[in-house]
Amino acid sequence: MKKSFEKIGIVGFKDKSADLALALEQISAWAKAHSQVQFFALESLKGLVQKPIRVVKESGLNNMDLLLAIGGDGTVLSAAHIALGHGIPILGVNAGRVGFLAESRVEGLSKTLDDLLAGEFSTRERMMIDAAVYRGKKCLFKQTVLNEVHIRAHAPDRMVNVNVVYNGTNLTEYWADSLLISTPTGSTAYNLAAGGPIIHPATPAVVLTPVAPSSLSVRPLVLSLTPKKLQIASAVERPLDLVFDGRVTYQMNPGDEVTLTESKAVTTFIRMRHTGFVGALREKLGWTGKPRLS
C-alpha cells in the first residue's frame, strides 16, 4: 500500500515521557526539510512543539492522513479514539516503557518519516468491541474500545458477581475481583498481567479473564464475537463500574445490562517493514520457550 501523507497529526502528553521532546525536535527538523508535509500537534503539547508544527484542538486532528502517537500504549489508545470514525491510520512511536503497540523508536524517527514518504510500510487492521448499556430495551450508553472492557465493583473492596450470556445461552456466573473482556490487541495489556492468554492480532476473538476469581476451576476463556454477542449483568443488587480502555468509566445500575459485539469499526496501524507482532513478543516481552542461560 502506498498512501500520500500530506497532513500528519501528533498525539502525546507532556508529562508522560522524557523522550517526547526529542521526538518533537526530530519531527520539527524533518518538517523544515519536507515542506510538502504539514504537522499538527494535539493542544496538550502546547509549549513543547516547535515551528513549523502547529497546535490544534483534538477536533482539528479528525481530518489528518496519519496520526503519530508518541508515548506508550496509553497514548496509542488515545490516538485510536481520535481516529475512530475517521479512518485515520496510526503509527505508534515508543517513548514509554514497554510500548507494545508503539512499533517505531524515537531514535530512528527521521528515518521512519523518510520511509513513510517513500511508501515503505504496510497496514494492519485491529478489531474493536462495541459496548452498549441497556435498561430493558432502552440504550443508555455506548462506547467502542480497542483494548478491553473492565467490569469492577462500584463500591471499593468488593468483588463482582456477574451473569454472562453468550449468544443467547447462559455461559456462567463469575465471582471475582473484576472481569476483563479483551480484544486481541488488549490481550497484551491488563489481560496479560492478570494471567490471560496472548492472542494474535489477526484472530477475530475476545478473551474473558476473571481477575482473582473465587473458584480455582475458572480460567480465561477465548470466544468468537463473529457474529455473536455477550450480555453481562450484575447477579446481585449492586452497581458495577464499566471501564472502557482505561479511559472512560460508566456506572451500571442493578437491572441494567451491557451487550458486547464485534464493531464494524477497526483501528488501522501503520507497520514498518522491520517490525511485527512476533518480533514485539521477543523484544518487548522477553518471549522465550526455554530457560535463559547465565
By residue count, the chain amounts to 294
CA distance 191 to 174: 16
Selected catalytic residue, list 15, 19, 65, 73: 73
Task: Centre a 10 Å sphere on the Cβ of residue 173 and count the other Cβ atoms it contains.
Answer: 11
Max Cα distance, the chain (Å): 62
Paired sense of beta strands 229-234 and 240-244, if any: unpaired
Sign of the dihedral defined by the CA atoms of residues 258, 147, 69, 266, in that order: negative
- The answer to whether 97 touches 223, Cβ cutoff 8 Å, is no
Of 243, 66, 217, 254, the residue nearest 148 (C-alpha): 243
Q: Please list the residues that pair with 66 across neighbouring strands.
A: 8
Task: Please say if 73 is a catalytic residue.
Answer: yes
Sign of CA dihedral 133, 136, 139, 140: negative
Would you please indicate which residues are annotated as catalytic (active-site) residues? 73
